[in-house]
Amino acid sequence: MNLRIAVCPGSFDPVTCGHLDVIERASKMFDKLIVGVFCNPDKKPLFTVEERVQMLREVTAHLPGVEVDAFDGLLVDFARSHDARFIVRGLRAVSDFEYEFQMASINRKLAPDIDTVFVMTSTEYAFLSSSATKQVASFGGCVRGLVPGSVERRLREKFAARAKG
Ligand code: PNS
């Protein structure tokens, strides 16, 4: 059987309601959707890759056909390792376009058999990003509705632990 398999990559530091909206909608378009958590050696994330994978597994547990895995190296290699022919990315606003266009073009050059598919983020999440959420949470602001409940709790715990030193 020819399964339609896609990967949905990102840093997910942490997963937001905007990511989840894209994952939920994309999961209906493919037989299998592998959410790929990028382990970027150049960045110092708030959450470890294991924590990010764990949070994503929790919030996508209700979605059939969705799996979560970590990756390093090239995205197209990760996609190939899962026999995926599609890359799904969420697109929020025009400001995302240039970065996404560059990534999609590079990935297409590296792997012409893998196509990038964009899912427009729902308008209520168009302003949302992991970094803005982290900044709000770091100053004790309320992030309810911006991230899933379990992530909200973890953000609170993470910044409380940091404050204690
Ligand atoms: O959520 P992000 O940080 O915008 O996701 C970026 C990500 C992980 C999709 C991108 O950095 C990526 O694909 N990294 C893997 C390395 C790679 O394949 N680079 C070539 C394409 S630019």
**Structure tokens given for 10:** 């990102």
- Provide the residue count of the chain: 165
Taking the CA of residue 76 as reference, the ligand 1 atom at the shortest distance is: 18
Taking the CA of residue 102 as reference, the ligand 1 atom at the shortest distance is: 22
Instruction: Tell me, in angstroms, the distance from the centre of ligand 1 to residue 109's CA.
Output: 15
pLDDT at 93: 85
Tens of pLDDT, residue by residue, the chain (165 residues): 789 999 999 999 999 999 999 999 999 999 999 999 999 888 899 999 999 999 999 999 999 999 999 999 999 999 999 999 999 999 998 889 999 999 999 999 999 999 999 999 999 999 999 999 999 999 999 999 999 999 999 999 999 888 877
- Please, are residues 39 and 73 in contact by the beta-carbon 8 Å criterion? no
Pick the residue whose CA is nearest to atom 10 on ligand 1: 10
Pick the residue whose CA is nearest to atom 6 on ligand 1: 10
Distance in angstroms (rounded) separating the CA atoms of residues 139 and 111: 42
Pick the residue whose CA is nearest to atom 8 on ligand 1: 10
The tokens 């509705």 sit on which residue? 145
